[in-house]
Amino acid sequence: MDAIDVIVTKRDGRELSVEQIDWVIDAYTKGVVADEQMSSLAMAILLNGMTRREIGEWTQAMIRSGARMDWSALPGRTTDKHSTGGVGDKITLPLAPLVAACGGYVPQLSGRGLGHTGGTLDKLESIPGWRASLSNQEMLDVLGEAGAVICAAGDGLAPADKKLYALRDVTGTVESIPLIASSIMSKKIAEGTGALVLDVKVGSGAFMKTVERARELATTMVELGTDAGVETVALLTAMDRPLGRAVGNALEVAESVEVLAGGGPDDVVELTVRLAREMLQAAGLSGGKDPEQALKDGSAMDVWRRMISAQGGDPDALLPKAAETLEITAPSSGVLAGLDAYGVGLAAWRLGAGRERKEDPVSFGAGIMLHARPGDLVREGQPLMTLHADETSRFERALAALEGAYVIGETADPGLLPLVIDRITA
């Protein structure tokens, strides 16, 4: 095989063969194919696309580049969720223990935040003592003890994807749906879960800005999971406004605990329960306890406490708080017509809640608390949001990100997306 032949095949709009795909993924992982050659191939894929067969074989080749996890030692069925990410998207935190409280086993491999979207591991690391890095045996032990585990993926899981992901980020090829879908699904299939629910976000605060593009991505991923023998379903959900009221690491943990205690914002509760039911149904476990009941009777909270403790965290510890706060008030009376998710996410990132590079630290206490949601009546001078940061110097740039991000009018924006837009199955 020769890298140039593979590049030219896709450059000319032709299908890559199984042999070409297997060879190029293996050779790139081993360093035989250079970064500049793989970036050229990634650009050709972005411009010319891939067939369902090609995407499936590309995904399987990335899975074969590393190890596959095995949960057959568990006495029940595994089910997992993946979100494409958004602003205030803390759903994994209450969802994993909720599903475990209803009879499922949830091996949740999560990531860190980059840019304006938060990362699940960053949020959980705001809990004193909590550990993200676990061995496979430690994961199995936590699953056996609590029924759910949330941790970082090991280096041995789809290493080809890890290398290609970093390359796509610096070569303008992130937007390719075949490469996005294969990146997500190679890790999720290698993770070894029996059922998978995908939460594909749509809107300004999401990677997919339009329903059409989100549906294309969701359909591709559902096909990949189904073809690999994993029961897979996807929901398209709104990210044209932030999810919940808390945006930022420790702030979102506190809101998640509130949900587990039977409270919390309506949209967070609704989406958590809906996804939990989808996960249980996909795993064939929908005949047991209903998620709403598990929130009310405290069993989901019990799982949360066991899960956090099993990973070294203290579920009773005080969460970090930012040293400084700044309140933003309504400039006039009326209805909060819109609240742009991207603007809020960018402001939270500038306050210190996110990172620009993967190696950058985050401020666990930084972020934004929203006091009004789109559609709420507000009075002039009423608090709209509170900014949290460790240094007052961060407020100016955060305020600049919020210019035009909220609008007060006579009625709510009729163009706001429903919380759950569509459901995609095989």
Q: Answer yes or no: are the C-beta atoms of 63 and 30 closer than 8 Å.
A: no
Catalytic sites, residue numbers: 82, 161, 168, 183, 187
**What 3-state DSSP class applies to 423?**
strand
335 pairs with which residues across the strands?
377, 409
Strand 324-329 to 383-389 pairing: antiparallel
**Which distant-in-sequence residues (6+ apart) come within 8 Å of 79 by Cβ?**
99, 104, 105, 106, 193, 194, 195, 196, 197, 279, 280, 282, 283, 285
The Cα 426–Cα 421 span in angstroms is: 17
Neighbours of 154 (CB within 10 A): 16
DSSP code of 283? T
Neighbours of 163 (CB within 10 A): 17
Closest CA to 363 of 349, 375, 377, 373: 349
**Which distant-in-sequence residues (6+ apart) come within 8 Å of 259 by Cβ?**
94, 265, 268, 269, 272, 295
Q: Answer yes or no: are the C-beta atoms of 97 and 304 closer than 8 Å.
A: yes
Give the DSSP per-residue string, 149-160: EEEEPPTTSSHH
The Cα 94–Cα 253 span in angstroms is: 9
The pair of structure tokens assigned to 231 is 């029961």
Across the chain, which distance is largest between two alpha carbons, in Å?
68
